[in-house]
Structure 1
Amino acid sequence: MTRGLWRATILRLNFICILLVSLNIAAARSNELQKLAATHLGSDQGVLVQAEDGTVLVAQQEARPVHPASVTKVATTLALLERLGYGHRFETQFVAGGPVGDDSLDGDLVVRANGDPFFIFENAFLMLRKLEAQALHEIKGDIKVEGPLVFNWKADPEGHRLKRALQGLDGGEAWVSIGEPSARLNKAALKFVTGGPHQTSGKVLVTNHSPPLGTIVKALNGYSNNVFHALSDRIGGPQAVEAMIRKRLPSALRSEVTITNAAGAEQLNRMSPRAAVAILWELRKQLRGLGKDLPDVLPVNGLDAGTLKKRLDETPYRARIVGKTGTFGSVGASALAGVLRTPKYGAVAFAVLNSGVPVPEARRRQDAFLRALIEATGAEPWAYVPNGKPILEQASVD
């Protein structure tokens, strides 16, 4: 054997040894991570942890669909952004149902709505203030709603709850929150009286423009607001959400997603841990295509108001998780899914879907597992600072 050939052989053997050592280290580390799931969650509970390159770090009951509770909202968020767009704004209009003059409307106050999920007392009162500026105080008719009206997080198809607010009979604290003295609400309030026959005017009196959809879903996900279900009607309801999500998933995962309630507040919803992780990756992909990332639509633990505010909020773990909680105690469901940033694996997505475990115990297990996972992967804080401005400031009235 020549000296050159001998040297090349030695180099190859060294490379093989190094590779085997590396593989052994990786296998040992993978085994350690796998043990975290069994130790902290229980071997019968579903979990998947996957690096962004597809490497599976932890897999346990990962293909078993269970109730995902409000982790369903991640799927609905993806579907809404895909269909409507991140910057979509909802409009709610007050339209004259007759001629306007002498501080009165001779006809109904028509509310043209398209399902703004963030149309609340404050928005209604900002519109009321615009009507006052037009010297409109009396409605010789009633409220008539055209289109889906959601007011203060609940469907208001006949406008009864909105009418009470405009009459100054409800939501007075919101009047103060828009900077008005409480005593002025009675002066600005509308008076509804019985009117006679009238001609339709169609004049738009005032329009409320919602914040961008991205801002809305960020706030709704933070507090896990179930208005997501009503909001899904804008894109065809939960059946449409399910169809859109299944289309984006690999064929092997499609049967592992069932959505009958777009907020997760229904007993038949199902999702497997690996499907939940795949949905997180799809949402991230869509956001990054817009120059954004997951913290733009999902809460960050310890920083954002809502269900993740006090989860793992100690200094070593705060801001390490961007994700979504889920709780449906009556069916024994508790969930936590999200993404970590790690120096070794890059982004790491996880889904812990507890089933048949009391909610307090499930949360304790989830937090213990995530603390261990954060430590094992060296997860770093998300480079994210919460927007402290009230969401109302991103709406407009004209």
Structure 2
Amino acid sequence: MLRYISIVCCLVASEMFAQDTLKYAVKDTSNEFEYLSVSELQDRITNILNDSNFLTANWGVVIRSLKTGEYLYQKDEDKLFTPASNLKLFTTAAGLSLLGSGYRYVTNIYAEGEINYSVLEGNLIVQGTGDPTISGRFFDGNIYKVFDDWADSLLQLGINKIKGNIIGDDDLFDETGLGEGWSWDYETYWYAAQSGAISFNDNCIDIKIYYDKKLDSVIVKYSPVVKGIVVINDLVPVSPGAGSTDINVYRERGTNIITISGTFSEGSDTLKTYATVLNPTLFAMMVFKDRLEKKGIKVLGYAIDIDDYDKNIDYSKAQYLFSHYSPYLFEIVKVINKGSQNFFAEQLLKTIGLEKKGFGSAENGILACKEWFTQIGLNPDHILMADGSGLSHLNRVTPKQIVLLLRYMYASKNFGAFFSSLPIAGIDGTLSRRMKNTRAENSVRAKTGYLGFVRSLSGYAFTADGEPVAFSLIVNNFNVPVKLAENIQDSICVLLSNFKRKHLE
């Protein structure tokens, strides 16, 4: 059994890998629209799907006009498929509908003990509610911005010494950090970061790798640097002609010992990658404690997870100090859908569970989502959710259910936030390199999905008549390069973008 997983595999799973546009991209330099009847359009789509490379695969396709309600194409529309990250459409649609696009996470800071002049004679408590944004993502790359602001708030309150501990209270979420059905060998990589009520930096460390000519060695630097995180550099430099860069990152299970091995070409540019951490709450509190001390606040105690605290916190007796508010949910769902960010999606699912069922767990989130699915006319028996991101191979949906969801959101008050969160063909997100130089560029908005043997694309397109359509294109069980599946999906999107209804005289 392989101990290490290539960074190349990590990038593929993230859906952000570089694409060979010269070989596989769909080109459309024609200035002519396609005047077709619906039956002719269906024949064209059938011909595209009848690619001999996919004889052993399964395609599920639904295309529906949002103007007339007419189904323009259907193939195995009611069969269950593994959706991969197309499941994020369900999570984000439910989140916007159940919580509201203006929802914000609130992290509360309390003092447990008396404050005498400038000294807190006790513990500082951070009560988390699942905010995934405490990172540099919304702060120009400054991963410490939120913690530094908290330190400044304490200083403004006159506190410059804490005699107790820095305690992270993550009890509003469960302790199950990984999703049901996730592969064990995902654990090291950022796309499988553990969820929890307290997080920092997407629950990962950032790793930078480069070759130093003077030292004739490969240098590995990581941040944040805190006690308990051990990074082992087992990289070997190779001359550009003798070998290529082949990096493997592995976090030993149940530890925060991370080994980086393989080869690094002396001619390679600086490489940046990531590794997940164990116990995100403790990780966050350790970094927070370090930032407090850098700001001049002396901490005599330790950074601890509430699970290691020997008594219950009585918030009725604790002193509330201040709160931190996250960006709005309409900004957060952009991170989830445009970049296919799994960690954010898992946090949102548990947040739905917390807000609607009183406790943040995937089970509660899925239960609340399925109740909402029923309310909007989706059959929950045809939507098998194991997580919020689609990383699990246990997820199953039908193409028709996806299109029904897209149609519902099109008519809902949250459509603007939902639509804006989707990648734009040829422009951004996971579609930035697809459908360039076609009419679909800057027109199609859709969510991608990728797992082993799965490629999905579902969203909205506009015909040459300006007619809005919702579509879902899912292929399972193929054994050819994934770009061939993308080529078929992109070809259908371009066909829809060029399509003008032929009116019979």
TM-score category, normalised to shorter length: 0.7 to 0.9
| Cα distance, 1:217 vs structure 2 | 0.9
Equivalents in 1 of 2:65, 2:314: separation in Å? Answer: 64
Equivalents in 1 of 2:293, 2:51: separation in Å? Answer: 61
Q: State the SS of the aligned residue for 2:92.
A: helix
Q: State the SS of the aligned residue for 2:474.
A: strand
| Cα distance, 1:47 vs structure 2 | 1.5
Equivalents in 2 of 1:234, 1:164: separation in Å? Answer: 24
The aligned residue for residue 45 of structure 2 is 33
Deviation string 1:229-266 (CA, Å, 9 cap, x unpaired) is 23212222223223322442355xx4321111111122
Q: State the SS of the aligned residue for 1:300.
A: coil
The unaligned stretches of length 5 or more in structure 1 are 1-23, 170-184, 381-398
The aligned residue for residue 177 of structure 1 is none
| Structure with a larger share of its residues in strand | 2
Indicate conservation of the 8 Å contact 2:120/2:161, yes or no: yes
| Cα distance, 1:128 vs structure 2 | 2.2
Deviation string 1:267-287 (CA, Å, 9 cap, x unpaired) is 21101111111111122222x
Indicate conservation of the 8 Å contact 1:294/1:322, yes or no: no
| Cα distance, 1:48 vs structure 2 | 1.4
**Counterparts of residues 195-214 of structure 1 (less than 5 Å):** 202-214=318-330
Greater CA drift, 102-111 or 211-220: 102-111
The aligned residue for residue 470 of structure 2 is 349
Indicate conservation of the 8 Å contact 1:89/1:211, yes or no: yes
The aligned residue for residue 264 of structure 1 is 390
The aligned residue for residue 150 of structure 1 is 198
The answer to whether the aligner puts 1:336 opposite 2:457 as a matched pair is yes
The aligned residue for residue 424 of structure 2 is 300
Aligned residues: 334
Between the two structures, name the one with larger relative contact order (CA 8 Å, sep ≥ 6): 2
| Structure with a larger share of its residues in helix | 1
**Counterparts of residues 189-268 of structure 1 (less than 5 Å):** 190-194=297-301, 202-227=318-343, 228-236=345-353, 237-251=365-379, 254-268=380-394
Seen in structure 2, the aligned counterparts of structure 1 residues 41 and 221 have a Cα distance that, compared at 3 Å, is farther
Indicate conservation of the 8 Å contact 1:37/1:60, yes or no: no
Deviation string 1:357-386 (CA, Å, 9 cap, x unpaired) is 24x733432334323432454279xxxxxx
TM-score if structure 2 supplies the norm length? 0.59
| Cα distance, 1:100 vs structure 2 | 2.0
Q: State the SS of the aligned residue for 2:318.
A: coil
Q: Which residue type is aligned with residue 226 of structure 1?
A: N
TM-score if structure 1 supplies the norm length? 0.74
Identity of aligned residues (%): 23
The answer to whether the aligner puts 1:367 opposite 2:491 as a matched pair is no
**Counterparts of residues 1-398 of structure 1 (less than 5 Å):** 25-39=37-51, 42=54, 44-52=58-66, 53-120=68-135, 121=143, 122-146=145-169, 147-148=172-173, 149-152=197-200, 153-154=202-203, 159-168=281-290, 187-188=294-295, 190-194=297-301, 202-227=318-343, 228-236=345-353, 237-251=365-379, 254-286=380-412, 289-290=413-414, 292=416, 294-304=418-428, 306-314=429-437, 316-329=439-452, 332-344=453-465, 346-358=467-479, 361-378=481-498
Deviation string 1:108-154 (CA, Å, 9 cap, x unpaired) is 11112221222334322322232234343332111333434231334
Q: State the structure with more CA Rg.
A: 1
Q: State the SS of the aligned residue for 1:78.
A: helix
Equivalents in 1 of 2:351, 2:278: separation in Å? Answer: 15
Q: Which residue type is aligned with residue 187 of structure 1?
A: K
Equivalents in 2 of 1:348, 1:273: separation in Å? Answer: 14
The unaligned stretches of length 5 or more in structure 2 are 1-35, 136-142, 174-196, 204-276, 303-310, 354-364, 501-505
Deviation string 1:86-126 (CA, Å, 9 cap, x unpaired) is 11111112111112234331111111222122233432232
Indicate conservation of the 8 Å contact 1:40/1:369, yes or no: no
| Cα distance, 1:40 vs structure 2 | 8.6
| Cα distance, 1:324 vs structure 2 | 0.9
